[in-house]
Structure 1
C-alpha cells in the first residue's frame, strides 16, 4: 500500500496525477497537501471546475478552507467558460505562459469527449502547466474511453495512440441483441488499461459507504395506456423530421412515463415513508411530471418542495432540511448546501439515460459510514425502458470491475494517506 511519502514522491517525479475520491472534503484536503508540499515550485494555482460548482457558496468555502493560506494564489476558471469564452481561455493561456502554474481540474470526468472544445483547448495547452492534477468522484461513467481522454491531458505517452487505435485495441466491435453495432470493453482490456494508468492514480476511494436497500419495480401499461403509447409513437415516427435518436427516445419515454401502476405504487410507498416519519427525494426527468403528480392527488396531504432548474434552490433546500419530508427533484439539477444525511429514502420515478446522474445522486447521500438508504427504482416494461436498463447495468458492471481491479492494485485511500 502506497504511503504518504510515496504519493508525494510519485507526484513530484511525474508532475501529473489523478485523484479519484468521492468525498469533496477528502479530495480537496489531499489536493492541497500535494500543492503545499511543492510550495516554491509553482507561482499560482489554476482551479478549473464546472460553473455550477463555482457558483455554490459551500463549494467555494470548502476549497478555500482546505487551501488555507494558499487560497490567495488560486485563480478559478469554469470549464464552460474555457470551452465557449475566448477571453477566459486566453486569460488562462496567458497565465500559464507567464507563470509556473499548478493546474487542478475538478470533475475531470467532464473532459471525456475528445471532440469537445473544452477537451481540445485543455490538451492543446497541457504542456504549459508546471503540474497537472485531475480530480473526480468517479473515474468513468460511460466506457473505458473516459479514462483515455483524461489521461491524454495527464500524459499522452501513457497510451501513445490515437483514439481510433485505443478503440481498436481495447473496445472491439460487437453486435448487440438489437442488431446494433457497438463498442465495449472486455475484462482483460480493462485490466490492461488500468495497469497502464496505475502509476498516475495517486488515491482511490469512490465508495459512498452506504448500506443500500435496493428494490426494483417493474410496471405494465394498462390496455388503454398501451394503445395511446402506440398511437403517439407511430405518429412521431411518421413525421418527416423526428430528430436524432436521443431526442426521439426521450419523447417515447415521456409518452409512457406517467402510468397508472407507477402512481399506485408511489401512493403506497409515500404512505409507508410518512408513517415512519422519514424524508424522501423523488427524482423525475420532466418538470411537467410535477403537474401530473399534483393533478392525480398523489401529493395531497403532504408538504413537499420542488427542486428544478428554475427553483429558488436555497429556499427549497432549507425547507426540506427543516420542515418538509418530500422533495421532488429533476436530474442534473445542482442542489446547494443540501444536507441529505437525514434523508433515508430515494425514489427514481422516471429513468435517466445517463449513468452519471445516478452516481452524482448517490454521492449527495454519502456521509456517515454505514448509514442506510432505501432506493425504490421504477421501471415500465417497454422496449425503450429495457434498453435503458441494459445500458445502465452494463455501465454499473464496468465500474464494479474497475473498482475490483483497483482494489487488487492496492491503491492508497484517503485514510491510508491521512492516518
Structure 2
C-alpha cells in the first residue's frame, strides 16, 4: 500500500490507533493511512476505491482482499459545534496533519520500513503509560468534546494515567459533552465499561464530572461509588448487555426502556438488558427452574450468575447448565408438531383454543412431562380436548 503511493510521488504512512497498538504488541484491527496525495490523486493510484468521506479527504481503498482508509494530510478550521470542523483543508505536510490528533499516543506515523515518526514525544508517554493531549489540551477538547470520553476510554483500555494538565482541561470542558450526540458518547462509554481497567475509567469519569453531562447520570456519584466498591478490582464484564445491566442495577433505574432509549440503543439491546434484570430479580428471590432457563436462555442466565458471583452472592452455574442440557426443547421451533398439524389431524380451527393448546404443549415439554414425539403430543392434545 505505502509503496504504491510513494511510487506515485507522494508521502504515505500508517497512522492512528493501529500504530499505537502495534507498538504495544496488541492486535491490530482497522488500518488507517495518511498521505500527501489528494483524494482524486489517491483514486488514480488504485483501481478499486469507494468515497466514504471524500469531503474530509478519506477514500476507502480495496487492495489484496483488504480495506484501507486512506486520508489526505489535512488541517481543520474552527469547530462550530464542538465536534465537526467548519472546514477541512488538505495539505502536503505530515506534521501539520499530526498536530490535529487528540493524544500523543495516537499521533504516531509509521513508514514502510517500520520507522516511527514521533513529533510529540508519544513514545515516552507510551513507555510511561501516560495519556497526554497533543499541544494545548483545552484547544483539543474545545475542537472535539468527544475526545474527553475517548480519553476516559483509553485510560480504561490501556491502564494509562491521564496527565495532569490534560485531565484539568477535561474537567474544565466536561460540560461540552452535552453538545455531543448521545450515540457517540454511548459508543465510548460502552467500550470503557467493557475494558479490562474499566474501574479506572469510571473513577476518571467521576473525577472529571463528565457523568453530570450524560443522559440520566446526573447526581449519580454515590451510586457509581457503590458499584466500584461492590465489584472486585479484577472483575471484567463479559458483554455490553451485562455491563449496562449492572449500571442500571446500581443506578436504581426501574424503567429500563426509557433510560436505554435516551442513550439511543437498539430495541434488541433494550430487550436483552431488560431480560437480564428480570433474571437478576428472580434470582434474588429463588433458584432458577426449568421454565426460567428455557425462557431466558443459558447465555443470559450465566451472565447474571457472573454478576452475582462478583457481588459475593450465591451462584448456581452447574445447576443451570444441567437444567439447560436436560431440557426437552430449547426453543418452540424444535417442537415436532405445529398448529397446522393439529388442524389437519384433529380438525381444529385457528383461534384462541388452538393457541392455548400450543402453549400447553410447550409448557409440558419444558417441564419434562411430555416427550417431543408426534404420537405422544397428539395423544396429549386428544386428552385435553376430552377433558
TM-score, structure 2 as length reference? 0.25
TM-score, structure 1 as length reference? 0.24
The structure carrying a bigger strand percent of its residues is 1
